[in-house]
Amino acid sequence: MPTIIGSIRDGELAKSGYSWAAVRDATSAANAYIWQSPGQAFVCDYPAPYNILAISRCFFAFDISDVSVAPTSATINFHGHNTDAANIIVVKATAPDLTTYIATADFDAIDGFVAGSSMSGNATDYSAAFSASSWNKSGWNAITLNAAALSDMAALDIFKIAVVEYDHDYLNVAPGDHAVRSTNMQTADHVSNKPYIDYAAPPPEAPYLGKRDEGRGEVGDLSAAVGNRDLYPTKQGVVAEPDFVLHHYDLDHVDANFSITDTTIANPRQAPFSKRFQLIRTLGSGKTTQG
């Protein structure tokens, strides 16, 4: 299973203030923690005498330029550190990239983020909510990526994500119980426990196993009895019932005792398999020929 390590341009952005809207909907953070690990997804309303609210979001980037086909499955993996009190969710972000560190101006760099509204239905979710009760604060945590994430892995060159606290930051619900909700995770600045993506590439396209044919006919100017043979095109395609004709241009040569009759592909340029194909004898001499 291929693995992609996170970029060192990741980090945590933190904002605090005296009202929920001023903090949660801010366009800029007060602090950017970019050269340290861990980072945290965090929400807290500190009681008197402080009477302030605080939010932290973690942003990550992964080089996925070598992924050209949507994986069949993928997980993003974080190593926990010390705390595990916040439910979290992974959403699509617009920063950082692979050359520029996350910055205070990226606090709301979440695809679809709308100030004053829940991220649910606006942001692009890349995972389901991940429960704090399932978080391993001293080991690895694998978060399953959803179909939107798998599709973007094939479409994009840089996979940008934000990890945010779910119950309040994501849903835009002001806390009121003075609890500290924080889930810490190592960033790519850690010496060994760097975040990474594991993904399963789709299997290569299987060859189409043709039907057995016992007819007579022609390919080009050749004519012979097929007898009891199987046709195996080299790419997946349509193989018709016995007694058919395959009209296909530019065949280099055909070297076998066979013929194909009475089925037509209307547009040879759009034929579902290439001009090169194999004919494999399953009885008799067992000779394999290729044209």
pTM confidence score: 0.70
- Under DSSP, the state recorded for 254 is -
Does residue 162 carry a pLDDT above 80?
yes
**What percent of the chain has pLDDT above 90?**
58
Confidence of residue 206 (pLDDT cuts 50, 70, 90): low
Dump pLDDT digits (tens) for 116-154: 999 999 999 999 999 999 999 999 999 999 999 999 999
Cα-Cα-Cα-Cα dihedral sign, residues 17, 23, 26, 31: positive
Backbone angles phi, psi at 91, to 5 degrees: -125, 160
Confidence of residue 6 (pLDDT cuts 50, 70, 90): very high
Does residue 268 carry a pLDDT above 70?
no
The Cα–Cα gap between 215 and 202 comes to 37
Mean pLDDT calculated for residue range 192-221: 67
Report which of residues 117 and 209 the model is more confident about. Answer: 117
Mean pLDDT calculated for residue range 23-41: 91
- Amino acid 38: pLDDT: 86
- Amino acid 238: pLDDT: 39
- Amino acid 207: pLDDT: 59
Looking at every residue in the chain, the average pLDDT score rounds to 78
Confidence of residue 84 (pLDDT cuts 50, 70, 90): confident
- Amino acid 61: pLDDT: 97
The Cα–Cα gap between 58 and 74 comes to 20
Among 255, 253, 247, residue whose Cα is nearest residue 279:
255
- Amino acid 5: pLDDT: 96
- Amino acid 10: pLDDT: 95
Does residue 290 carry a pLDDT above 60?
no
- Amino acid 106: pLDDT: 98
**What percent of the chain has pLDDT above 70?**
70
Backbone angles phi, psi at 130, to 5 degrees: -110, 120
- Amino acid 46: pLDDT: 85
Record the tokens describing residue 197, joined without a space. 């993506």
Dump pLDDT digits (tens) for 237-259: 434 333 333 433 344 444 444 34
Report which of residues 199 and 35 the model is more confident about. Answer: 199
Record the tokens describing residue 214, joined without a space. 């016992």
Does residue 203 carry a pLDDT above 50?
yes
Report which of residues 115 and 260 the model is more confident about. Answer: 115
Mean pLDDT calculated for residue range 8-20: 95
Cβ-contact 208, 236 below 8 angstroms = yes
Report which of residues 215 and 80 the model is more confident about. Answer: 80
Report which of residues 179 and 62 the model is more confident about. Answer: 62
Does residue 291 carry a pLDDT above 80?
no
Mean pLDDT calculated for residue range 192-220: 68
